Structure 1
Amino acid sequence: MLVGLWFSVDSLVSWRATLSIWREVSLLGLAFAFLLFFCSHLLRALRIQIYVFKTKTELGGEQASFLAVAKFSAMHQFSNNLLPMRLGELAFPLLARRYFGGSWQERFSQLFWLRVLDAVFVGAVLILLAGMLIVERLDFNALAVLLLLLAALLSVLWCFGLRFGSKLLDRWGWFKVSYIKHLYSTIRHYAPENIGVLARLMLCTLLAWVCKLSALAIVVQLLSQLSITSALFATLAAEISSLLPVHGVAGAGSFEAAFVGGSILTQAWDVQLVAIAVNVHLFVFFSTLIITMALLPFNIRRSSMEAVDV
């Protein structure tokens, strides 16, 4: 896919023309976009600290420093951006066990629930944007209110599902297969049930995605004349492609294809969309690289602490 992307860009718009767009970009606007992107990384790190590395702080125990968790999160995100077929997700349990301890079941289960939160919010934003596209109106105030109401509804459904999920699966006969019952029990055991923790996780997830999508939408508008609606659809489609298990090295090709596909939902096809997609992807990759390199000097000392159930 990487080779295909290289030749596609070279034949459609040329690499020289693609990269020359950066000469006209406002440095102040680019810095603001990077700041939002960095904030999204910090919010993801905070989410991990709240849920994965939550320790007995209330009882006087020690807690992993935020810088340590931020470095861990950045290395995980960079691995995801670099490796194909979602192999970067393996960095989460590997690094977590190396530096903070815990079992494989615990770390994989925690990663599963974090990805569920991501999928829920991305899906919700996609549905809301699609609905507003249908009525031909993008109202950001209405979008903000709907997202908050949706977060409250999801919190209730989450708690309901954790409380009655096993009974429903048992009634439907799924637990007749011992493997499914064991897998469900393991994942269920590490689910964030505490309503306070769940509320903070959902808030961090919401803000992280808002910061990231806003950053990418700003970059799109710095690079082109696309409307904010087209920019949001394009960036959201590209991010959804990065969550899927099928993509190449560094997401090359799949990110650009999804970006172009999302943008043509609201406007006509233009060959310049390919150049914009490539440049947005470069912004994501190098921003993540810069953040990771900046956090690498901070040491993560392996702690004897154990994450507690929430």
Structure 2
Amino acid sequence: MKSSIVESQQSWFMRNRMTALTVVIVAAYALFVQWFWGWPVIISQWADVGAGPVIGALVALTSTYFLRTWRIYDYFPKETAGRFATLFRVTQIHNLLNIMLPFRTGETSFPLLMRTEFGIPLTRGTSALLVMRLLDLHALLAAAGIGFALAAADALVAWSLWAVFLLLPVAAFAARKPLLRVAARLLPDKAQKFVVEIENGLPLDAAAFARAWAMTIVNWLVKVIVLAWALGLMGVLPMAASFGGALGGELSSVLPVHAPGGVGTYPAGITAGAIALGASSERMALAALAQASVNAHLLIIVSALTGTAISLPLGRRGKL
């Protein structure tokens, strides 16, 4: 009897170990903030900004979740037709899990949820997610490249390299069929169905690819501008530094090394990005930047929770 209880406890821990790790790290982060600055100091910074800008930033950030959902809705038009509300719920659950679980483990929820709700094969859902994440990363790196090109000594070379990088997704999409044919020849017969599903997970045609690419750019443009604006309101100057901070934080969220809830890694990304594009690294300025980065991180978490709260009442089989 005792043995079965122990086994049950161990089984519970194995099933919930990621959640437990997330709770422990977030709690440790909250204690660290309290010890280093004190939560009243952090919250007072928002009070100085004012309720209007804070609410406006939350509304703008939450609106990007609808755009992300539309990108997937357009990506799988047949499977998701008439079920935008359900898809919004799926994308919000995936987004929250992705934020809260470490090392991108939350990403695995997307293909699973898409299979459960819309019957999309795991391989196809995973392929589509990989394409979208590559587009996300490319958009952020291209935006960061603008800052470095502006500061480069040789403007012609810098902007030429940036233009080449900007067009990489177009080249990759154009070369997709030859690459898939090579993969089909190299892989054994049993793996051929996976190649087919991977191809099905790519945009259907150039127009679908262009829409996905455009929605990716608009989504990240809105998000980075809102975060840069919020950082500027909290004293991160010059404006280029607040822009760099917003990019640094978001880049940390799409890279493989990502702490639960972005605790530590997201504020560190903001700090590094802001300093790279002109923020002062003096002690007092660095302390103010650290406070602003924590508050910007809290803004992201609250917007994700807001989006999830909006989506949860939507029925599993709801129609739009």
Partner of 2:288: 272
- Distance between the aligned counterparts of 1:291 and 1:204, measured in 2? 18
CA separation of 1:7 and 1:292: change in aligned 2, threshold 3 A: closer
Letter in 2 for 1:295: S
Name the structure 1 match of 2:301: 285
Q: Is the 8 A contact 1:242 1:251 kept in 2?
A: yes
> Partner letter of residue 194 of structure 1?
D
Distance 2:117 2:193 in 1: 27
Distance 1:166 1:223, change over 3 A: same
* Residue type of the alignment partner of 1:267: A
In structure 1, which of residues 40, 43, 48 is the aligned counterpart of residue 72 of structure 2?
48
> Matches of 1:110 and 1:17 in 2, distance apart?
43
Cα deviations across residues 190-215 of structure 1 (Å, max 9, x unaligned)?
A: 21141111111111111100111111
What is the root-mean-square deviation in Å for CA atoms of aligned residues?
Answer: 3.1
| Aligned residue number for residue 133 of structure 1 | 151
- Once the two structures are TM-superposed, the CA of residue 9 in structure 1 deviates from its matched residue by 3.6
Q: Distance in 1 between the 2:195 and 2:220 partners?
A: 28
| 2:78 partner amino acid | T
What is the number of residues matched between the two proteins? 286
Do residues 34 (structure 1) and 48 (structure 2) align? no
In the TM superposition, what whole-angstrom CA distance separates every residue of 1:141-164 from its partner, at most 9, and x where no partner exists? xx9xx999976x356413322133
Calculate percent identity across the aligned residue pairs: 25
Q: Distance in 2 between matches of 1:2 and 1:178?
A: 46
Q: Which amino acid aligns with 1:22?
A: W
Look up the SS of the partner of 1:247 in the other structure. coil
Match of 1:123 among 118, 141, 160: 141
Corresponding residue SS for 2:77: coil
Deviation readout 1:104-142 (Å, 9 max, x if unpaired): 1121111111112112211211222221233699xxxxx
Gap regions ≥5 residues in structure 1 = 57-61, 138-142, 304-310
Larger Rg: 2
Residues 179-238 of structure 1: per-residue CA shift (max 9 Å, x gap): 998765542342114111111111111110011111111211222242221111111111
Instruction: Classify the secondary structure of the residue corresponding to 1:271.
Output: helix
Q: 1:111 aligns with which of 129, 132, 151?
A: 129
Counterpart Cα distance in 2 of 1:67 and 1:148 = 37
Are the aligned partners of 1:96 and 1:102 in contact in 2 as well (CA < 8 Å)? yes
Q: Distance in 2 between matches of 1:279 and 1:232?
A: 15
Q: Which residue of the partner structure matches residue 202 of structure 1?
A: 213
1:245 aligns to 2:236 (yes or no): no
What is residue 165 of structure 1 aligned with on the other side? Answer: 179
Distance 1:11 1:135 in 2: 43
The 2-side partners of 1:237 and 1:17 are apart by: 24
Q: Is the 8 A contact 1:39 1:211 kept in 2?
A: no
SS of residue in 2 equivalent to 1:211:
helix
Whole-angstrom CA distance in 2 between matches of 1:203 and 1:147: 18
Partner residue in 2 for 1:306 = none
- Could you tell me how far apart the structure 2 residues matched to 1:276 and 1:126 are? 20
Residue 175 of structure 2 aligns to a residue in which SS?
helix
What TM-score comes out, normalization by structure 2 length?
0.78
